[in-house]
Amino acid sequence: MKIENSLAKRLVLSLIPLLLLSSVYAEDKKKNEEKKPDTVTIKTELLKVEVKLKGFFEAVETSEILIRPEAWSGMSITKAAGHGDHVAADDLLLDIDKRKIDVAIEDLELQIISAKLALAQTEASLETMRKSVPRDLESAKRAAEEAEENMQRYLEIDRPETIDDIEQQVEGARHGLLYQQEELDQLEKMYKADDLTEETEEIILTRARHGVKAAKHRLEKAISGQDHAMNVLLPRQTIDMREAQQAAALALERAEATLPASIKEKELGYQKQQVDLQKMAKKLTRIKDDRKLMTVRAPHAGTVYYGQAVRGQWPDATAKGKTLVAGASVQPGSVLMTVVRNENLVVRATAEEKQLVDLHPGDSVAVTPAAIPGEKLAGSIKSVSSIPVSPGKFDVQIDVELDEQANRIVAGMGCSAVIEVYRHPSAILVPKAAVAEEGDAEEEYVYLVDGKDKKKQRVRVGRTVGDRLEILRGLNPGDKILAKNPD
């Protein structure tokens, strides 16, 4: 019994190494099996590539409402249509307070009346001046000529005659004294020789002596007058005559220089008044035209949107709503509101730069309104912008057919657009990792697997779909390739 147990122990001990070797072999086999590369069996499938865009419905027919006055500023609102109001053609959209502009128009009309009167007065004055200036010039010439003639006569005739007269007066006075003295002397001799009474003699002699005395006085007065005339009166008269001559000459010179210029100045003033009057008339016309702008009516039926559409959206509608209230100021030239016809809409979408290659005018589009998620509207691309509307973004316009169920759609609502840009019913797709490039020509290839063997297979790659590549040539259904290219 002991021998049997001993044999059993030896047998067990001899089997343990075999069991250990068997376990190690099985583990190695499992690891080898796990290290086998993954493969992909080629098969065909439907390949459909879609471009998805976000956009907004935009009205084809819109009318922006703004006020752009030429002359008037400082406008304030009295009444404005509300955002979302439905209006008919000629309905009131906006009314501006006209009290201040009416006062300005009245003041300007009065200014024009006054300016016309002033212009008429200037015209009459100018006409009178045109007639009077030639006469005034002629008078000045005549006065200068007369002064010259008077001066010439004075120097050649009047002054010498005056001097001669004075000298004659002095000479006459001297002779008169001489005559009186001689008479007195004769009387005195005579009365000494005759027998006349002393009384008569005395009377006659007294008279003669008085005559001599008077003659002496006249001579002295004549000499004094001569001296005064020669030294005072005649020099003064000469100066006066010369000054009169010079004054007349200066008056003529001044008249010749200023009178024609005064006509020109008057004419320029008249022209300026005409221009000013024309400016006032034009200003009045512009202000009256501006007044007509202050009552704004709908150009056509539609819906009122506050602000201005920007690529199908209304970014400033809320801000405009705060300013389109009674008493608020109006910014000239700014779009205040827009009248929109919602019957005819298009879609304004935005595409990324990388999507442009797949977008072409005429491509079919499926449009889904955000307000009707289950509705798909048929459409087509109308245009794609050639320049970006923002960095990396391009504008896409889409014509869309609106059915009866889409009558709730209005401008400004959002939507999504799907464009099927590629379809292949039996496309071959492989993982990107399975394809590698080779050579300067960058030719692509994969590894075909045939049992334990693998070999390079050149392929032509088409579109990229996520993490897979479309194979246009080089593989057939049933081929097996490495899922990850070892190169």
- For 64-96+295-338, give the CATH class: mainly beta
The correct answer on CATH 2.40.50 for the domain covering 101-291 is no
Q: Are 96 and 295 in contact (CB under 8 A)?
A: yes
Closest CA to 398 of 352, 361, 430: 361
Angstrom distance (rounded) from CA 227 to CA 233 = 9
Can you tell me whether residue 390 is helix, strand or coil? strand
Angstrom distance (rounded) from CA 274 to CA 272 = 5
Q: Are 53 and 351 in contact (CB under 8 A)?
A: yes
Q: From the CA atom positions of the chain, what is the Rg in Å?
A: 64
Closest CA to 339 of 367, 300, 376: 300
pLDDT at position 12:
47
Among all chains, which residue has been given the structure tokens 């499992």?
30
DSSP type of residue 413: -
pLDDT at position 33:
47
pLDDT at position 2:
44
pLDDT at position 325:
94
Structural tokens at position 157: 């005739």
pLDDT at position 390:
93
Among all chains, which residue has been given the structure tokens 């003699």?
201
Order across the sheet with 337-340: list the strands.
62-65, 337-340, 302-306, 86-87
Q: Where are the domains of the chain?
A: 64-96+295-338, 101-291
Structural tokens at position 389: 């509307």
Angstrom distance (rounded) from CA 309 to CA 58 = 8
Can you tell me whether residue 67 is helix, strand or coil? coil
Identify the segments of the chain with pLDDT beneath 50: 1-4, 7-8, 12, 24, 31-34
Angstrom distance (rounded) from CA 482 to CA 487 = 11
What's the whole-model pTM score? 0.65
Q: What angle do CA 88, 94, 96 make, to 5 degrees?
A: 150
Angstrom distance (rounded) from CA 267 to CA 275 = 12
Angstrom distance (rounded) from CA 94 to CA 294 = 8
Angstrom distance (rounded) from CA 464 to CA 457 = 19
Angstrom distance (rounded) from CA 482 to CA 456 = 10
Q: Are 359 and 418 in contact (CB under 8 A)?
A: no
pLDDT at position 265:
94
Q: In the chain, what's the furthest Cα-to-Cα distance?
A: 249
Helices 234-293 and 159-193: angle between axes, nearest 10 degrees: 150
- Rounded-to-10 torsion of CA 315, 318, 323, 326: 140
